[in-house]
Structure 1
């Protein structure tokens, strides 16, 4: 087939499926948003609007030529996405603390309280003020409060002595950027309380957000009062979206078993809740013939279901999966009110458009990607499987056949959703739950048919103070799900760490998946080729050979067997990130005044010498004799300022370089040493690390103070 024949065939197939063209709108919006976040520098504010005007004029002029019209329309959608992300970044701009502070007296209004498994809490403050004039005042601050103090409520204005620090930068290049996440939530500081907080002014009303957060905190506390431990913590997560009280081992069990999606209020929960309200109210009203025959009870039930689903979404904090599910469920129920039939794939597309325009930054998070990938894949699959299932059911009546069809549906849906989301889980977390199908086959029906109905009854009984009647049987079901998670996670190799998937591979895979899901004809299978190429890109990625954090304190080098030998420094998040993205940690300890098992690394009081591929790398930790520490080295990594020392060395990275550019990753290749830094991966963006030197001031005697504790990102960020 010649070039002209191929173009003619493509044009015919495009025209044959022109009713599917609107489904590509969120794809091109997403491409534009992605281009904004990939920009190495913050574009000027006029860039997006100017391109929009030019493309809008071109769209009007190109209406007579279909090919030109389609190309300009796609470019215009990308420009809209780019401009939406640019506007969102500018609107959310807020002060960020420049450097770690000393102890200061902090005041603020409690916006959110999250209970922690150790009995402490994580408190988010707005309307912040403090007594340190040299420190910027953030719009919001999040502090960790140790257990033992008086409880604070949402809406209280509190005063607390605390240490603050900027939102932490990525632990290594191209890893999760909490600073960017915090920027789009106006979170300008994180830290640790040094003493129990003092309530200056009790809560008095506040905005609707404060009232919703207060209600969430109140419901979670009442659930935990009836159901202690992980049973109550998981029940609170299912009803309020707060996953923080869940213990670390139980959370890890949910991740390793592939059940973490159950803890995130999403399609399963919103759809079940709305469906239970709709069916329950309609059934109740149908018991009264005088009402059922005279009034539109179906529409009444739809209205109440919409209201309940919206309230449930707000109570959960309106995460992306819940918003997507509410939007789709709400449109379906609106169609019931209008006596119309809703088209499911279009619902997904318009839900994606609404979220991308309202919060474009959600595109780059795992929640958005995994949520929409699962739903789009399920709808696309059942557009083909649905008629076949209906025909099979008609040919095989009876309860046994129905039960078999249900079981097959659960397995099929789990396989489809698991396959669609697995790649995004690999990209963000480098983990794959091997036995998720088995866990979901048991846990999903148990959640849908036992836990959620009791959760709905619990909401109805809360105002009467009778929630215990529903919580106790609900707790039985939650405990069953917990046991399934622990049981499956205990199997050998239940969750495996997989290599890094590059961003380019993820984009190619996603575009191929969109082609496969959004078209209906046989040419949809062309999308399988880019999906395979995207996955194959994992084979081209080689993890770094040496890692060092932004202070020069934590270091890791690759051993002869391919593992990473860590020097024991750094927090839990750093070690976890390095272990997932660079390789499993070596079982041995970093040598102090000896050699590693493979003989590559040898340390003394001045530092360490690491030999790899014929190169000598000096890891310096003592600034008293830098020339001696790095004599004969090809590469020097120093935790102390060298101030021109180590002359003649090919590559020197000292304390000042680490301070300016953040954590470094090094690859030792035949052609030389490749270096990547957090600064280069972030670019010059508003949320990037911009080092600020300390202002000189007269020394003052002050007692030693602890450092702020490592910040743990929201679990909603880590898991869908």
Structure 2
């Protein structure tokens, strides 16, 4: 008993010693609760939420009744319970009808978003959807359609109609993989599809509601930018200024990704920070040059208000997506700190921004944008805070800007590298060099020129700003193409297990946020996470949820059963394997000639992939040691295990290992976004 009391006293003193440094842990605890909600295999019901509410209330009452070191742990539990509840509330608020069958027929709706798909096709998102012979209660609120037919000049707010294919949002391409159904749930997308038919205008654009006027202004600004700056440079400029990436070609995108410069396309904290910083500096210097004003008003605070206004305009013009909202919140917290005479760049400011983002969009914690943004920002502030307090020799004045850029790029790159590798399975070996010669140009030329173009646009003189902006962006694209063309410019890594990123994040946060020598303990979970990652094993056999593709692991990498078709699935499988081959190269690993029936012997079974009705007509029997995968309904005589298209609709994609078969439905559990009825193919033909 005495030992227990001593332990409690020691723990209380340790936690009391952290007072004044505990607030940055608040979003960490909130995120743990949010992560707990999303990790559950079954959707929690009302008693579960009630239990968390009671637990949080008890802990809050205990913390208020007995303030002290241990009260910090009680508040941590309160925040975790709150995060769990916020995530559940957000998931239920996002609920909307989801198409639960394959549909072909007339599709009508209002244009609310325009972008491009991975296949470089124009993609339109519609709301106020009308589907032929579908009751209003069963219609999705939003659908997204890729346009593979004749070119269409679409405008925001325009009501259009076409004939196309729609289906429910696709599940994970492999068990435990990225769940597009969950992503679509929070985006409000109830169906996705494509059309090869012409698009007809039903009604002209209606811009007086739902913020479509801003959307129309963005698209008009994007068009004007691309008129002045043609090609990929114009598409890059439009992406930076309006968030419209539809003008950037696939070759340029690949080069930017391979050189680790793709983050410059997204309107992120870098762009928002550079814009706000430029406006803040210009306003402060301009006002300081007027003694009559400088002596009477707080110039610094006026400049902060002006910079905040400029950031808000940028937020509106860029479309206000999740990444841009996050960037604006972080910049707003910094500028508001200036207004209340607090240190602008501190871990408290980052923590406040993270809390706001997590409260507004709890699901953001699962995405690479949130993770990379806050990883880089937290690491930079923690590092430069340590550098400020450390007793190190001071660099000469001329060297400080150079060292600042070098250290900033290195620290941000190291902080975000594990997140990027985990989500995208790639490492840019020369990314640091590419960023060192590109990012400074964003601050000294591209963003100031963009601000100048915005100010001159009302007078029709925006070209005076856009042309210099184009020079800077052309340089960045040139760097991207040069770096991506170097031998070994890009490496590939296999996807990690589910525990790896949380272990790395918690270890690094402990290292940066905890005070005292005990912070070094944070290195241990990071090292353990990388050790687990290095031992990650990929499934021996993968099967697409349509039965349209099979991948078998060989000594040379994964062999794919088809060189074409199901490209999205193939690309994701190979990326998760850490394999740099394309689909055609991976298909060449499959033995035998290409055909409608592909056979490969493995250590446990012989895999037979039946492709289409032609392949099904060639197969009538099977043996016990065979596993037959078919993209169409199939009936065979024999004791084999058959996964045809009907069965795969129930199971989802498959991962087969020595331990057995894991289905996507088993891995994903039964959640709000995947518990709708099993899809049935129904066709509502246009009469």
TM-score for the superposition, normalised by structure 1: 0.87
Q: Is the 8 A contact 2:104 2:165 kept in 1?
A: yes
Displacement, 1:96? 1.2
Matches of 1:589 and 1:234, distance apart in 2:
31
From 481, 485, 499, the counterpart of 2:480: 485
Q: Is the 8 A contact 1:618 1:633 kept in 2?
A: no
Structure 2 vs 1, CA of residues 570 and 691 (structure 1 numbering), >3 Å: closer, same or farther?
farther
From 77, 80, 85, the counterpart of 1:78: 80
Structure 2 vs 1, CA of residues 538 and 150 (structure 1 numbering), >3 Å: closer, same or farther?
closer
- Is 1:567 matched with 2:557? no
Matches of 2:664 and 2:398, distance apart in 1:
53
TM-score for the superposition, normalised by structure 2: 0.91
Q: Is the 8 A contact 2:11 2:70 kept in 1?
A: no
Structure 2 vs 1, CA of residues 38 and 614 (structure 1 numbering), >3 Å: closer, same or farther?
closer
- Is 1:646 matched with 2:638? yes
User: Residue by residue, what CA displacement relative to the aligned partner does 1:38-57 show, whole Å, maximum 9, x if unpaired?
Assistant: 11121114532442133213
Displacement, 1:100? 2.3
Q: Is the 8 A contact 1:115 1:121 kept in 2?
A: yes
From 161, 181, 187, the counterpart of 1:185: 187
User: Residue by residue, what CA displacement relative to the aligned partner does 1:62-106 show, whole Å, maximum 9, x if unpaired?
Assistant: 5327465333322221111111111111111111112221131x2
Structure 2 vs 1, CA of residues 159 and 319 (structure 1 numbering), >3 Å: closer, same or farther?
closer
Structure 2 vs 1, CA of residues 264 and 588 (structure 1 numbering), >3 Å: closer, same or farther?
closer
Aligned to 2:38: 37
From 660, 674, 685, the counterpart of 2:671: 685
Structure 1 residues 225-234 or 54-63, which shifts more? 54-63
Aligned to 1:199: 201
Displacement, 1:152? 2.2
Aligned to 2:296: 294
Matches of 1:572 and 1:655, distance apart in 2:
18
- Is 1:633 matched with 2:625? yes
Structure 2 vs 1, CA of residues 74 and 446 (structure 1 numbering), >3 Å: closer, same or farther?
same
Displacement, 1:111? 1.2
User: Residue by residue, what CA displacement relative to the aligned partner does 1:231-258 show, whole Å, maximum 9, x if unpaired?
Assistant: 0111111111222321111111111111
User: Residue by residue, what CA displacement relative to the aligned partner does 1:434-473 show, whole Å, maximum 9, x if unpaired?
Assistant: 1111011100111111111001101111122111111111
Matches of 1:604 and 1:336, distance apart in 2:
66
Displacement, 1:179? 1.6
Displacement, 1:212? 2.1
From 495, 515, 522, the counterpart of 2:517: 522
Displacement, 1:9? 5.7
Structure 2 vs 1, CA of residues 436 and 9 (structure 1 numbering), >3 Å: closer, same or farther?
farther
Matches of 1:685 and 1:24, distance apart in 2:
29
Displacement, 1:575? 1.6
SS at match of 1:195: coil
Aligned to 1:26: 27
Aligned to 1:555: 550
* Equivalent runs, 1:219-258 vs 2, <5 Å: 219-258=221-260
Structure 2 vs 1, CA of residues 552 and 581 (structure 1 numbering), >3 Å: closer, same or farther?
same
Matches of 1:189 and 1:614, distance apart in 2:
38
SS at match of 2:542: strand
Matches of 1:340 and 1:414, distance apart in 2:
26
Matches of 1:683 and 1:677, distance apart in 2:
10
Aligned to 1:305: 307
Aligned to 1:611: 601
Aligned to 2:124: 123
Q: Is the 8 A contact 2:101 2:681 kept in 1?
A: no
Aligned to 1:706: none
Aligned to 1:168: 170
Structure 1 residues 541-550 or 198-207, which shifts more? 198-207
Matches of 2:604 and 2:591, distance apart in 1:
13
Aligned to 1:397: none
- Is 1:447 matched with 2:442? yes
- Is 1:109 matched with 2:110? yes
Structure 1 residues 339-348 or 579-588, which shifts more? 579-588
C-alpha root-mean-square deviation of aligned residues, in Å? 2.9
Q: Is the 8 A contact 2:102 2:165 kept in 1?
A: yes
Displacement, 1:129? 1.5
Structure 2 vs 1, CA of residues 652 and 68 (structure 1 numbering), >3 Å: closer, same or farther?
farther
Q: Is the 8 A contact 2:616 2:632 kept in 1?
A: yes
Q: Is the 8 A contact 1:607 1:620 kept in 2?
A: yes
SS at match of 1:553: coil
Matches of 2:430 and 2:634, distance apart in 1:
51
- Is 1:402 matched with 2:397? yes
Q: Is the 8 A contact 1:488 1:494 kept in 2?
A: yes
Q: What residue ranges of structure 1 are gaps of 5+ in the alignment?
A: 394-400, 704-720
Matches of 2:431 and 2:80, distance apart in 1:
36
Structure 2 vs 1, CA of residues 695 and 503 (structure 1 numbering), >3 Å: closer, same or farther?
closer
SS at match of 1:646: coil
Aligned to 1:664: 654
Structure 1 residues 513-522 or 482-491, which shifts more? 513-522
Aligned to 1:473: 468
Aligned to 2:142: 140
